[in-house]
Structure 1
Amino acid sequence: MAGAGPAGAATAIRAALAGLSVVVVEPRTAPIDKACGEGIAHSAVDYLIRLGVDVPGRPFHGIRYLDDTHSVDARFTSGPGRGVRRTALQSALAARLAALDIPVIRSRVGPITQTTTSVTAAGLTARYLAAADGLHSPIRRQLGLNHPPTNHPPPNASSAGPASPNPFNSLGRLFQHAPHGAPGAVRRGLRRHFTVAPWTDLVEVYWSRLGEAYVTPVADDLVGVAVLTSARGTFDSHLDAFPALRRRLRTARPATAVLGAGPLRQRVRTRTAGRVLLVGDAAGYVDALTGEGIAVALRTSAELVDCLRADRPQDYDAAYRRVSWECRLLTASLLWSRNRRLLAPHIVPTAARLPTLYRTIVNRLS
């Protein structure tokens, strides 16, 4: 297993519980931090608990969209999500790895070699290598699995692996090949925490022409604020685009330094190369707009382990697409609208006019 972030640790834990022998290779020292929204859907919390992970944090009960004049709430029907400091989640996952006696080797993977029956990396030889080494995965790059950045139609569909049994491919291509320099084409995220009592039991998403600001309650005296945008600037300058949020934070004290991540959009040709399988952000990423990164990573990591147990790595890419297509479709659709100047200002007003539809979509994602 390459990587001990949430996707890598969860994959290792599930594999060990399934009776497989696992070693994790991770160069960073725990707990590993990352710029992210830190909201975990109820389904993902439930999955982690079933893996034996003691999930910390603060419950939240829905999602609120806001702009300058509109606000609309969608409360969860299946159960609360949880706002969790990334470092706290990492510590909980590390504790579970230790409880299962899963070795974590502090090293880089380095060059990878394969045969028809094994793969060798970081001085270790195993039947398979699951790669969860992040958004800008060195393993994905080393194996040539990145989709080449182009502004022309994609290569023959055969290069992208098995066809997906869903409509995501056509809509995904529509978004992926938007004109270079289109609004929101290259999106990044910045995150900072503030010491303040959460003012709501919802995750708030503030919308403006600059982008989105996510506010997640992660403790009784702490909120995380993540800004997603294609604009250049500092975290503080970006907050000026969200005056209502700026007023909320007027007396709050910054509790952490600003962390950044991006570009967010990462395309892959396929998620398998011989006996190497990509999972988590390394397996490709649409955007953080719907906040479903960890839920998708956990869902697809379960498919990865099932494919390895069956000794059928060739089935993984299709399985990944099957269990993630709905989230990828909804995220790409929303992002496509966000990137259109005529449509973007109407996203929150439309959700406010159609609250039942908005609640249905939010609960479908969660």
Structure 2
Amino acid sequence: MTEERTAPAVVESDVIVVGAGPGGSTTAKWLADRGLDVSLLEKSAFPRDKVCGDGLTPRATKQLIRLGVDVSEEAGWVHNIGLRTYAGREEPFEFLWPELASFPNYGLTRRRGDFDEMLARLATTAGATLYENTSASEPILDPATDRIVGVRAKDGREFRAPIVVAADGNSSRLALNMGLEKNKLRPMGVAARAYFKAPAGDSAFIESCLELWDGKPGESNLLPGYAWMFPLGDGMINVGLGTVSSTATSQKMNVREQLKTWLNGATPRQWGLDPANQVGTIGSAALPMSFNRKPAYTRGLVLVGDSAGMVSPFNGEGIPYAMEAAEMAADAIADAHARGVGGRAAEKALGGYRTRLEAEWGGYYRLGQVFVSLIERPEIMRLCTRYGLPRPTLMKFTMKLLAHLYDTSDGDWMDKTITALTKVVPSA
């Protein structure tokens, strides 16, 4: 349901979820499915747009299927069969999504504004109450325990619940107000994108360009990161670029200006980009990576998605991790409610959310930090694109690693090797 304007000044529920992006709405949906009374707060009104996320890999596709979403083309989704990559030569390299037991073999594209609203409506259909145009300005703390017991909206309304989920993005005002600062020594990405009408809009692949120059190709600096093209159907494409630094303190680039420079002289010819066909303006956003804000649970507050820095340092993907964390969080919160929120047993259940996150992704994110520190060096990037891409076996392995698409049990030798690597390194 959606709240009525006659809503009381104080709203009580079992759980408050702040932010109706993919992480927040998915959390609200899973919580409602588990029988909890959920207040889902969104600072804007739908439909509303976000910068990143139009292109979804099979990892995100799996989460949508788990939610029961109809991901057919008839339902408005554009399917892609793999990744087409440009680097080192004019003709691209093509890599199909791997055939795995754990994930489907296709990805999806859909405009972010439409995608987010679909997930929010899915949550309300499950029973959550959506409060649009509701900006949570500050946490409400119990002075006796210092636990969060609700949030106060800018318009004066109070929302009260024994557990609050912060799914309010990279800046996460809730987390900051509870003393949870970002770790500036973790990788930080930044991305910018624009929409175009172009022939590549009907491609069966999502596409990337790994040679990201900050000026004239071959005569300027090679940057860590990549550019992308996501086909959206009907001749529309999302074109953008993202760069990454090994620490937040080293992130200095004006990514919007870099995108303009790149669009004016370095895009693959096959994309058919014409500046006259740009639709709308350039948008940009930060990509917080590798659990750059911890802990993911403390004093009644659960972090999901960008608020906890759940973006992959390998490829800048955040949506599938936010959606996977949403289900983990819902499991822990439902368990805590069943045990009696506030008691020691309930706290054990909520603390298990942190443990589960680190067991699932901690080693993988740590490997990603090493990866970022390597590709920051231009000579490493040149070696990778020149000598790595033409080797099919090496690139199949690399694609599985970078896209986080491998079977953790009963997989092939590549899957077993990647799984073993994530187990032997310390958690991020």
TM-score w.r.t. structure 2 length? 0.71
Alpha-carbon distance in 1 for matches of 2:352, 2:235: 45
Q: Cα deviations across residues 321-343 of structure 1 (Å, max 9, x unaligned)? A: 22223542453343222211221
- The 8 Å contact of residues 130 and 277 in structure 1, kept in 2 or not, is answered as yes
Unmatched 5+ residue regions in structure 1?
Answer: 151-175, 177-184
- The 8 Å contact of residues 143 and 273 in structure 1, kept in 2 or not, is answered as no
Cα distance change on mapping 1:6 and 1:30 into 2, 3 Å: same
Which runs of structure 2 are paired with 1:279-294 in the superposition (5 Å)? 279-286=304-311, 290-294=315-319
Alpha-carbon distance in 2 for matches of 1:67, 1:242: 11
Match for residue 192 of structure 1 among 191, 194, 199: 194
Cα distance change on mapping 1:206 and 1:252 into 2, 3 Å: farther
Equivalent residue number for residue 87 of structure 2: 67
Cα distance change on mapping 1:326 and 1:255 into 2, 3 Å: farther
Equivalent residue number for residue 16 of structure 1: 32
- Say if 2:144 is the partner of 1:143: no
Q: Displacement, 1:148?
A: 4.8
Alpha-carbon distance in 1 for matches of 2:360, 2:287: 24
Match for residue 372 of structure 2 among 323, 335, 340: 335
Greater RCO (Cα-Cα under 8 Å, separation 6 or more): 1
Question: What's the % identity of the aligned pairs?
Answer: 23
- Say if 2:240 is the partner of 1:226: yes
Query: In terms of mean alpha carbon deviation, does 47-56 or 74-83 score higher?
Result: 47-56
Alpha-carbon distance in 2 for matches of 1:245, 1:235: 16
Q: Displacement, 1:219?
A: 1.9
Cα distance change on mapping 1:186 and 1:149 into 2, 3 Å: closer
| RMSD of aligned alpha carbons | 2.6
Equivalent residue number for residue 151 of structure 2: 121
Question: In structure 2, the residue corresponding to 1:136 is in which secondary structure?
Answer: coil
Which residue type is aligned with residue 62 of structure 1?
A: G
Cα distance change on mapping 1:93 and 1:141 into 2, 3 Å: same
Q: Displacement, 1:51?
A: 1.5
Alpha-carbon distance in 1 for matches of 2:358, 2:266: 36
- Say if 2:135 is the partner of 1:103: no
- The 8 Å contact of residues 39 and 291 in structure 1, kept in 2 or not, is answered as no
Question: In structure 1, the residue corresponding to 2:354 is in which secondary structure?
Answer: helix
Alpha-carbon distance in 2 for matches of 1:142, 1:63: 41
4+ residue runs over 4 A deviation? 115-118, 263-266, 285-289
Equivalent residue number for residue 172 of structure 1: none
Question: In structure 1, the residue corresponding to 2:196 is in which secondary structure?
Answer: strand
Question: In structure 2, the residue corresponding to 1:257 is in which secondary structure?
Answer: strand
Q: Displacement, 1:257?
A: 1.9
- Say if 2:110 is the partner of 1:84: yes
Which runs of structure 2 are paired with 1:291-330 in the superposition (5 Å)? 291-311=316-336, 312-325=349-362, 327-330=364-367
Unmatched 5+ residue regions in structure 2?
Answer: 1-16, 153-157, 213-221, 244-251, 337-348, 406-428
Which residue type is aligned with residue 140 of structure 2?
A: T
Cα distance change on mapping 1:196 and 1:248 into 2, 3 Å: closer
- Say if 2:165 is the partner of 1:130: yes
Q: Displacement, 1:274?
A: 1.0
Cα distance change on mapping 1:52 and 1:187 into 2, 3 Å: closer
Which residue type is aligned with residue 93 of structure 1?
A: L
Alpha-carbon distance in 1 for matches of 2:25, 2:381: 37
Alpha-carbon distance in 2 for matches of 1:235, 1:345: 21
Question: In structure 2, the residue corresponding to 1:256 is in which secondary structure?
Answer: strand
